[in-house]
Amino acid sequence: MVAAFENYLRSQTRLSEEDIQLVSSLPQTRTLRRNEPLLTAGEICRYKTFVVSGMLRIYSISDDGSEPILQFSPELNWSIDAESYDQQQPSRYHIAAVEPSEILLWSKPDFDRLLAELPALKKYSEQVISKNVYNARQRLLSALSASPEEKYDDFARNSPDLLARLPLRMIAAYLGMSLKTLTRIRRAQWAR
């Protein structure tokens, strides 16, 4: 599990081998079953999480029982409730495994120390945060202005690997539409 993470760091950062060994020596390893929670609303997010294999989702539970999904984190991606983690306050969100997943977990004190000691890791972390902000802004713009068909087309074009792995109900929850609407859109596309 750690070897895959070290290869990821080699390909994505300018960390030295010594620094890569330091970063990879600190996390806890954990295996999650499908649908197993990592974080439950009301808990404090105490870990930076890297998905080695599998996939996590960040979601909330609405009063009507629906589960709007904010983000999917497939393998070789980070997952965190940033607000809860940064401010060490109870989360409003849940994080759970979509499929069996292997993850690495760094405690906040350990990761903060790594960021202070390793400028290259801090720079990379800032790049990941910026990318997430850009993606969130694009997603918000789409949610506010795109039709359901445009949202689905964009998802299918930009995330074909996720499209094949996710149940339709989760895709619908991520796109902010009903399962009935998503099914109608897919049927219409197949009829073309």
Q: What is the DSSP string of 99-151?
A: EEEEEEEEEHHHHHHHHHH-HHHHHHHHHHHHHHHHHHHHHHHHHHH--HHHH
Convert the pLDDT of each residue in 152-172 to its tens digit. 999 999 999 999 999 999 999
Does residue 113 form part of some domain? Answer: yes
The burial of 99, by beta-carbon neighbours within 10 Å (0-12 exposed, 13-18 middle, 19 or more buried), is given as middle
Give residue 63's pLDDT band: very low, low, confident or very high (50, 70, 90): very high
Convert the pLDDT of each residue in 45-61 to its tens digit. 999 999 999 999 999 99
Q: Model-level pTM? A: 0.93
pLDDT value at position 189?
A: 83
Q: Are 49 and 105 in contact (CB under 8 A)?
A: yes
Q: Which residue matches tokens 């359901």?
A: 148
pLDDT value at position 191?
A: 77
Q: Read off the CATH number of the domain in which 44 is found.
A: 2.60.120.10
pLDDT value at position 40?
A: 98
Does residue 10 form part of some domain? Answer: yes
Does residue 33 form part of some domain? Answer: yes
Over residues 31-38, mean pLDDT: 98
Does residue 8 form part of some domain? Answer: yes
pLDDT > 70 in the chain, percent: 99
How far is 121 from 93, CA to CA, in rounded Å? 27
**Averaged pLDDT of the chain:** 95
How far is 150 from 142, CA to CA, in rounded Å? 8
Convert the pLDDT of each residue in 84-135 to its tens digit. 999 999 999 999 999 999 999 999 999 999 999 999 999 999 999 999 999 9
How far is 44 from 148, CA to CA, in rounded Å? 34
Q: Are 78 and 138 in contact (CB under 8 A)?
A: no
Total of domains in the chain: 1
Give residue 190's pLDDT band: very low, low, confident or very high (50, 70, 90): confident
Does residue 191 form part of some domain? Answer: no
Does residue 78 form part of some domain? Answer: yes
Residue 57 forms beta bridges with which residues? 72, 96
- Its domain, for residue 70, covers 2-117
